[in-house]
Copies of this chain bind each other. A is one copy, B any other.
Amino acid sequence: MSAVPDARTTVRNPAATGRGRWRPAGLREARITGGFWAPRQLRNAEHAIPAGQDQLETAGNLQNLRLAAGIGEGEAIGPVFADSDVYKWLEAVAWEYARNPSENLLERQRELTAIVAAAQREDGYLDSVVKLRQGDEGRYTQLVWSHEHYCAGHLIQAAVAQVRCTGDRELLDVAIKLADHLVATFGDTEDDKTRDIDGHPVIEMALVELYRETGTSAYLELATWFVEARGHGIIQNHGHEPGYFSDRVPVREATTVEGHAVRAVYLAAGATDVALETDDRALLDVLKQQFAHMWSTKTYVTGGLGARWEGESFGDEYELPADRAYAETCAAIGGIQWAWRMLLATGDAFYADAIERMLYNGFLAGVSLSGTEYFYVNPLQLRGAAHPDNNRSPAHGRRGWFDCACCPPNIMRTLASLDGYLASTGSDAVQLHQYAEGVVTVDLPDHGTVELEIQTAYPWEGAVTVTVKRAPSTPWALELRIPQWAEGATVNGEPAAAGTYHRISQPTGKVALQLPMATRVVGADPRVDAVRDSVALERGPLVYAVEQIDQQANVDDLHLIPDATVAHSHESELLDGVTVLTARGRTGTGHTPGTWPFREGSMDGVGEEVEVKAIPYYAWANREVGAMRVWLPRG
């Protein structure tokens, strides 16, 4: 290896950039040690990751790779992107190892890594399903749907995580060989390359990460090319309009996100990575606008992304139906990844707020309290009589795996790397973005080590105590994110403005952040037709939902009395301990079932008063699968 170039980083973190406004505090620098997230991460490590390996074996993903390596005989099983599930699982194992090293994890990692390495072709190509189904001559002939770059991207991400967290280079060698093969194969035709793009982005983020890890600029250049080549309608006549593949409008001209939600946010995250590493301010400005438009017109109150089942896609502006919300778990994860990169690039608290909303609601709803059962689709309403018409339907309840199993290992890698989203450093400051019980130990260049201990019962309580355990003597500062929802927050008793970072210069001892935890009854912009005249309940970072099992009345017919007082109480035995909300509501619709539902006169029924009990949205469908609503009609 030659000398380490500037871009290289050894931070144990996804998107470990040194180029942004802020530098992420990696795993082990930031450590979650207790509170809300620690038991979830423990279940991820102890139950989900081992169960995931079993599922990859049962579902045939590992067998595909073995067959591609020439071990045994048979046909490929499962979807064309089956390899990617293995890679996401390997990435989860790597992050988890950084958090909590163990021989068991290392053994699991090395076992699967060896299978992957064996499946790679001599020239670097690697895709077991395409190899088995179409042979070597079938390579890249159906790139729109083959997910060959998509799989390569997840492999590269896993390899980077592996070397950063365990020091093992075996998967990195595979990734480099594959990336070199891609560099040699794709690009502008005048360079004798194939001017073609994968139907599903992710390779962009991955190649930038590999560039960060290796310093090889060809990877950054290819990532840039993939970002720029898209949006010119290369993908025509493939069962969807180009917009589905984010291929209708060039990324620099796009003013919004459109099409398949996961594809769109993965691409945007990759474009942000490119903007970061190439210091492309114009591209970053465009991405800011796209994110803002997504957030103000195409995002659910839960942070869920993607309104439509049709094409798993974003809808039109303000098209946000509660019942048919697709809001794929992977889209929330991609949204977090994009927001994280925007946060690092801009330092704007807005993106940390967005991460918080997606993390506690749209993302977390995708995994059961046990850690091993998943939702693919995350609606904001399920009717009592909802009929499951699809493998992914939430009416089926949570499931241990899916035919299309993108979400489960995506959740695993996110939970395992969560510590990496807590904090970052600037030239003279440490920022806390998310509040969790834990420790942050970071070096400020030219200053020295800062060690912080964070104590909090967040998200149940609004008090966060940051104890400065170690600090440099030179001027430095602590910056605490005050969420946009936290009007009236204080730091050490002084007002702190919502939606900003509150800066405390050279703090010592304990810093007391107090976030207001009054329940918020929120309405929607009237343009969001689907939830007109309804309200959602929020408290702290959590969005609430009413679930049939907790109600006296039929959830389908429940109304919240306007201006009703909302009480809260913590129930430590319920759903692993949740703060519940209660308010007065009414039941009855003033309409007779079985009759024509559209008629003259008011339909408002003055029904019986009932108590309405709400639980955090993320915890729904952990006892039974019944009617559920986030949005409650007023009346």
Chain A residues near B (Cβ < 8 Å): 240-241, 243-244, 258-259, 292-293, 295-297, 301, 308-311, 313, 315-319, 321-324, 381, 383, 385-391, 484, 520-534, 536, 556-557, 559, 589-591, 593-605, 631, 633, 635
Contacts and interface: CB of A to CB of B under 8 A. Distances in A.
B633 A598 contact: no
Contact of A259 (B295, B389, B391): B389
A524 to B, nearest CB: 5
B323 A316 contact: yes
Q: Which 7 pairs show the lowest CB-CB distances between chains A and B?
A: A525-B597, A309-B310, A533-B533, A525-B591, A301-B598, A526-B589, A523-B603
Contacts of A602: 523
A499 to B, nearest CB: 10
A162 B530 CA distance: 47
A124 to B, nearest CB: 35
B389 A520 contact: no
Contacts of A525: 589, 591, 597-598, 603
Nearest to A301: B598
5 contacts: A311-B389, A324-B324, A381-B529, A525-B598, A532-B534
B633 A316 contact: no
A599 to B, nearest CB: 5
Contacts of A595: 296
Contacts of A381: 529
A630 to B, nearest CB: 10
Contact of A597 (B524, B556, B594): B524
Contact of A318 (B311, B383, B601): B383
Nearest to A289: B594
Contacts of A319: 323-324, 383
Query: Which one of A241, A315, A596, A597 has the highest number of Cβ atoms from chain B below 10 Å of its Cβ?
Result: A597
Nearest to A317: B385
Contact of A527 (B521, B536, B591, B635): B591
Given A297-B597, A598-B524, A387 B258 contact: yes
Given A310-B309, A532-B533, A599 B522 contact: yes
A202 to B, nearest CB: 22
Contact of A600 (B308, B315, B521, B599): B521
A589 B308 contact: no
B593 A296 contact: yes
Interface of A is mostly: loop
A318 to B, nearest CB: 7
Contacts of A521: 600
Contact of A241 (B309, B317, B318, B390): B390
Contacts of A310: 308-310, 324, 390
A235 to B, nearest CB: 13
Contacts of A524: 597-598, 603
A590 B528 CA distance: 13
Contacts of A527: 556-557, 589, 591, 597
A492 B38 CA distance: 80
Given A526-B591, A589-B525, A633-B532, A389 B258 contact: yes
A355 B527 CA distance: 33
Contacts of A317: 383, 385
Nearest to A604: B526
A311 B527 CA distance: 27
A594 B299 CA distance: 12
B321 A241 contact: no
Contacts of A596: 295-296, 484
Nearest to A242: B389
B528 A530 contact: no
B321 A530 contact: yes
Contacts of A389: 240-241, 243-244, 258-259, 311, 313
Given A297-B597, A603-B524, A529 B324 contact: no
Q: Which of A388, A527, A534, A593 has the most CB of B within 10 A?
A: A527
Contacts of A530: 321, 529-530
Nearest to A602: B523
Given A389-B243, A390-B241, A598 B557 contact: no
A16 B469 CA distance: 90
A383 B320 CA distance: 13
A308 B387 CA distance: 13
A488 to B, nearest CB: 12
B296 A308 contact: no
A252 B59 CA distance: 38
Contacts of A390: 240-241, 310
